[in-house]
């Protein structure tokens, strides 16, 4: 549905203002949709159609009830495609539509220019429709229950991908071709040298080191995979004994997981960027005077933070504004670091005017983890009250555990690493010399939950069709020691039962 004339005029005006600030975005097509349709699109992840599955109906029901009871309201939705598609809720006040349109242009600028979106499929609307057609064809052939049950299995492990895979060249699963030089008696460990230089160029310790490296290389070449594989779903697609239709569905789930991964990697940056720009555009000329109070109320709702939660809109926009101010005033580098007096720091201003330039540079190159690691400051943590909280059983209440900046930052970043999911890699696909699958968990202060591990291993068994194991660490002792000592354990599912045993776990290089 095309926009009515008054909204089209509004969209055109806001687009011109956004481009005037330097935003660079794809063509953006807006549609007006009613409440029930926007809930349906939201349940589909922003797409007009998806493959049939019960979880989409469940999410639609939840969104609809939340909207009916006044618990939440979907103001806007935009998807990362070229052209981009955005949806405006029918019945919104004109001020709300103004806010949403400006916000959407900020998002689309981020989609187009941020590095972590550079490898995404910009024609995903068509790809999603093709996926829906493929799944419906399989349902007609195999039956709804069989296909839906297998989709359940795949969705339970759809986070076992490597979000950095499109940007890094990881070690392959198969060993590279042998490259060692060999002679009549086997490998050559010496460097070419004249007789009188032999002891200098090839000392005994050098020869022994070459022999050790050769032995390790031979051992690794016999190991499969040759190097740990973080893209577990990709490894299963390549080597699991899947039937043709199972391969087809798992491939669909993996492709969609990689499409959505950049959104999870840049949630704080992206929402903060869009909030910054809709605020900038509206408060610098695009908002009529009679809508200012209504806008202030809407903006307050957007950046409101509930106790114990992290609002990506609020944190993101505050960091962007802080970057702009610091680079405008020159609050970086040696001159700023050497300024120790509080009154001098408050008056510090080199009038560099580099804020906007720095913002566009950061928007292009960072993700949430690097963004927070570099630009979250002690002053911001204090202003946002981003303290570490913990439950005190004696007082039966939540209390501040620490206000220390480094601890607070580390807790936030740890929660964002791998979207808060455990880091898992394939370690051995021929475990115990019987084609069993051994996974390795990178321990980062949080042990695997045994109940979650049991369900995931059970579902991985259905894909690998042989026993599946994961090695990890668990805290040892009564928990009074801080930090508690760790011991290795091996969790596994053999097709009948879930087991846990002690294991000499040696962490793999990540």
- In three state form, how does the secondary structure of 237-269 look? HHHCCCCHHHHHHHHHHHHHHHHHHHHHHCHHH
Q: What is the pLDDT of residue 3?
A: 87
Among the ranges given (150-159, 198-207, 454-463), the one the predictor scored with the smallest mean pLDDT: 198-207
CB 130 within 8 A of CB 314: no
- Tracing tokens 């091996």 back to the chain, one arrives at 490
DSSP secondary structure letter of residue 166: T
Q: Indicate whether 471 belongs to any domain.
A: yes
Look at residue 218 and tell me if it is in a domain: yes
Pair 283, 365 in one domain: no
CB atoms within 10 A of CB 484: 14
Question: Where does the pLDDT of residue 191 fall: very low under 50, low under 70, confident under 90, or very high at 90 and above?
Answer: low
Q: What is the mean pLDDT of the chain?
A: 87
- The better pLDDT of the pair 228, 305 is held by 228
Domain span holding position 192? 182-222
What is the number of structural domains in the chain?
Answer: 5
Task: Tell me if 120 is assigned to some domain.
Answer: no
258 shares its domain with 131: yes
Query: Are residues 252 and 325 both part of a single domain?
Result: no
Rounded CA-CA distance 68/82 in Å is 33
> Are 259 and 361 part of one and the same domain?
no
Q: Are residues 37 and 140 in the same domain?
A: no
137 and 250 together in one domain: yes
pLDDT at position 233 over 90: yes
Enumerate the β-bridge partners of residue 438.
Answer: 428, 469
In this prediction, residue 180 carries a pLDDT of: 43
Contact 226, 173 (CB under 8 A): yes
Predicted local confidence at residue 74, as pLDDT:
74
Kindly state whether residues 383 and 447 are assigned to the same domain.
no
Q: Give residue 493's region: left, alpha or beta (phi > 0; psi -120 to 50).
A: beta
Q: For residue 481, is pLDDT > 70?
A: no
CA atoms within 13 A on the CB side of 432: 12
Tens digits of per-residue pLDDT, 282-310? 999 899 998 999 999 989 988 887 766 78
Whether residue 352 sits in one domain with residue 380: yes
Write the pLDDT tens digit of every residue in 29-74: 999 988 888 889 989 998 999 999 999 999 989 888 887 777 677 7
Could you give the CA distance from residue 167 to residue 270 in angstroms, rounded to a whole number?
19
Mean pLDDT is lowest, of 115-124, 296-305, 471-480, for 471-480
pTM listed for this prediction: 0.85
509 in any annotated domain: no
Measured between alpha carbons, how far is 167 from 119 in angstroms, rounded to an integer? 8
The answer to whether 350 and 332 are in contact (CB under 8 A) is: no
Does residue 475 surpass a pLDDT of 60?
Answer: yes
Paired tokens of 451: 């109940």
Prior bond to 422 cis, omega within 30?
Answer: no
């Amino acid at each position: 549905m095309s926009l009515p004339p008054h909204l089209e005029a509004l969209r055109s005006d806001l687009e011109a203002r956004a481009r005037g600030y330097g935003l660079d975005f794809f063509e953006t097509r807006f549609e007006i949709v009613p409440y029930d349709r926007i809930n349906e699109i939201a349940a589909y992840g922003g797409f007009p159609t998806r493959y049939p599955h019960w979880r989409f109906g469940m999410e639609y029901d939840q969104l609809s009830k939340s909207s009916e009871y006044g618990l939440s309201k979907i103001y806007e939705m935009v998807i990362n495609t070229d052209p981009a598609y955005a949806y405006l809720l029918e019945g919104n006040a004109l001020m709300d539509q103004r806010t949403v349109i400006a916000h959407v242009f900020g998002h689309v600028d981020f989609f187009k220019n941020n590095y972590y979106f550079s490898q995404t499929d910009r024609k995903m609307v068509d790809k999603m429709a093709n996926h829906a057609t493929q799944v419906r064809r399989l349902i007609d052939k195999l039956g709804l229950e069989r296909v839906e049950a297998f989709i359940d299995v795949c969705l339970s492990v759809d986070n076992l991908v490597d979000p950095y895979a499109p940007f890094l060249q990881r070690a392959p699963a198969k060993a590279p071709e042998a490259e060692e030089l060999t002679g009549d008696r086997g490998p050559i460990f010496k460097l070419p040298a004249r007789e009188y230089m032999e002891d200098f160029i090839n000392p005994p310790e050098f020869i022994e080191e070459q022999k050790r490296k050769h032995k390790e290389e031979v051992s690794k070449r016999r190991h499969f995979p040759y190097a740990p594989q973080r893209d577990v779903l990709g490894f299963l697609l390549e080597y699991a004994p899947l039937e043709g239709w199972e391969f087809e569905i798992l491939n669909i789930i993996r492709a969609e997981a990689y499409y959505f991964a950049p959104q999870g990697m840049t949630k704080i940056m992206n929402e903060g960027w869009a909030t910054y720009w809709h605020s900038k555009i509206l408060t610098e000329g695009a908002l009529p005077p009679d809508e200012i109070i209504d806008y202030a109320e809407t903006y307050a709702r957007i950046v409101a933070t509930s106790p114990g939660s992290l609002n990506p809109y609020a944190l993101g926009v505050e960091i962007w504004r802080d970057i702009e101010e610091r680079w405008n005033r020159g609050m970086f580098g040696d001159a700023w670091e050497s300024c120790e007096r509080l009154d001098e720091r408050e008056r510090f201003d080199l009038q560099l005017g580099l804020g906007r330039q720095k913002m566009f540079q950061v928007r292009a190159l960072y993700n949430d983890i690097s963004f927070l690691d570099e630009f979250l400051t002690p002053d911001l943590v204090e202003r946002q009250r981003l303290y570490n909280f913990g439950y005190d059983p004696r007082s039966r209440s939540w209390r501040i555990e620490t206000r220390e900046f480094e601890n607070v930052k580390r807790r936030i970043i740890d929660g964002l690493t791998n979207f808060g999911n455990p880091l898992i890699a394939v370690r051995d696909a021929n475990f115990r010399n019987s084609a069993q699958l051994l996974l390795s968990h990178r321990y980062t202060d949080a042990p695997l939950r045994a109940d979650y591990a049991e369900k995931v291993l059970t579902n991985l068994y259905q894909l690998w069709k042989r026993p599946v194991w994961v090695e990890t660490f668990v805290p040892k002792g009564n928990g009074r020691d801080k930090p508690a000592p760790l011991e290795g354990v091996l969790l596994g599912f053999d097709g009948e039962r879930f087991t846990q045993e002690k294991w000499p776990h040696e962490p793999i290089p990540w």
